[in-house]
Structure 1
Amino acid sequence: MRLPISMAAAIALTAAVPAYADHHSGSGHASSTIVETAVASPQHETLVAAVKAAKLADTLGGEGPYTVFAPTDAAFDKLPAGTVADLLKPENEGMLRSVLTYHVVPGNVTASQLVGMIQSNGGSAELKTVQGGMLTASLSGDNVILTDASGGTATVVQADLKASNGVIHATNAVSMPG
């Protein structure tokens, strides 16, 4: 059973990251793929470079549907110095692919569906990623929080950026598969 998203949660999920929200004006680019939508975003340049380096652009540009919890450039900037440069090296393609696919969930999970899953499951929802690991979604006040396998947390700062092959939820941290 899907529970409706609270008005406060809906506002919190869609109000953050003003430049990104203005660029995507609510529903995103429903005729663009996830990759095309990310390329158009000024907040996801690092993610786009990583997707290309991991040779995932064709996959994420494919049929889907996918739900992508997309770390912003500021999220990548929070990683220890040198982490992104190391991940982008050709010899680390497998590790980079693992990290990136850990942010992708099969299907089209909107913010209201995710909040409903959390509420109907006693306060958290397990999300199996394309990488094979689990992300745990929960609510902290009106914010959706993702907890990764290492115990790290990421907050959804912009939700429901619709694409032709799924939906993107921008996050303020990079989730790690453990």
Structure 2
Amino acid sequence: MTKRLFTAIGATLALASCTSPAARIATVAPPPAVAAPVAPAAPISANSGLAAAAATATNPFVGGTAMLGTRTIADNFASAPNLRMLTHAVDVGGVRDTLAGSGPITVFAPTDQAFGRLADGAVGQLMEPANRAALVKVISYHVVPGAITLYDLRARIDAGRGTARLTTIAGGSLAATKEGEAVALTDANGNKAYVQTPDVQQVNGVIHVVNGVLVPQLG
């Protein structure tokens, strides 16, 4: 893909309409400590404690559907009726393995309504085969290494004196801030998305559903 094409797509996606904070956001207590397994008979993965905690977590519903803590992030995306566009983008971009891997990762998942706020034609343009590299970069911009709960995110914001910088697997960063009880994420173009449904615990990380699409620098 040429730099010119990346720039054109970036300009279109950056025209996302303004989003507003969720009317209410859950206040999440610090996650409970996970007891270490006793004398395992075989080697365990680095995320076994995370998986054990997720399996017993009381997850919020997403789009009216239960999010099972025994599933991967990719599997739960596919079952949520309000994350259809994100699921489609993941499939088209060929990045399902990233979201189904061992992790841990944190995904800020835009709803279908969030995709609908982009400029007319932006989603269709991004899904074209010729623009796959840009699509992968946009999806990856919503993924951060490590399992970061809402409690952790607020703590990082406080430690950063009002702003936490999150480095995404796309290479760019997101700025996390607090606006009252709401937590906002600001992308490289100045667009904001707000955490709408936090702390969906998975075997390989955490999902936070957000109400806007975050766009990296594509030029």
Q: TM-score category by the smaller chain?
A: 0.7 to 0.9
- Choose the corresponding residue for 1:101, options 135, 140, 143: 140
Q: Which residue of 2 aligns with 1:172?
A: 211
C-alpha displacement of 1:19: 6.2
- Choose the corresponding residue for 1:59, options 74, 81, 98: 98
- Choose the corresponding residue for 1:128, options 167, 191, 212: 167
Q: Which residue of 1 aligns with 2:26?
A: 13
CA 41–21 in structure 1, closer or farther in 2 if over 3 Å, else same: closer
| Identity over aligned pairs, percent | 40
Moved over 6 A (4+): none
C-alpha displacement of 1:51: 0.4
Secondary structure of the residue aligned to 1:154 is strand
Write the letter of the residue equivalent to 1:119.
D
Secondary structure of the residue aligned to 1:159 is strand
**C-alpha distance in 1, partners of 2:71/2:164?**
28
2:165, 2:176 within 8 Å by CA — same for their partners in 1? yes
Q: Higher strand fraction: Structure 1 or Structure 2?
A: 1
- Choose the corresponding residue for 2:182, options 133, 143, 163: 143
The structure whose Rg is larger is: 2
Q: Higher helix fraction: Structure 1 or Structure 2?
A: 1
Deviations 1:114-142 (A, max 9, x none): 01111121011000000000000000010
2:145, 2:169 within 8 Å by CA — same for their partners in 1? yes
Write the letter of the residue equivalent to 2:62.
Y
- Choose the corresponding residue for 1:85, options 117, 121, 124: 124
Q: CA RMSD in A?
A: 1.7
Write the letter of the residue equivalent to 2:214.
S
1:46, 1:73 within 8 Å by CA — same for their partners in 2? yes
1:14, 1:157 within 8 Å by CA — same for their partners in 2? no
Q: What runs of 5+ residues in structure 1 fail to find an aligned partner?
A: 1-10
C-alpha displacement of 1:29: 1.7
C-alpha displacement of 1:23: 2.2
Q: Which residue of 1 aligns with 2:71?
A: 32
Q: What runs of 5+ residues in structure 2 fail to find an aligned partner?
A: 1-23, 29-59
Write the letter of the residue equivalent to 1:158.
T
Deviations 1:54-90 (A, max 9, x none): 0000121111111000000000000011111111111
- Confirm or deny that 1:23 pairs with 2:65: yes
Write the letter of the residue equivalent to 1:103.
H
Q: Which residue of 2 aligns with 1:3?
A: none
C-alpha displacement of 1:13: 3.4
Write the letter of the residue equivalent to 1:36.
D
TM-score under structure 1 normalisation? 0.87
1:12, 1:143 within 8 Å by CA — same for their partners in 2? yes
TM-score under structure 2 normalisation? 0.71
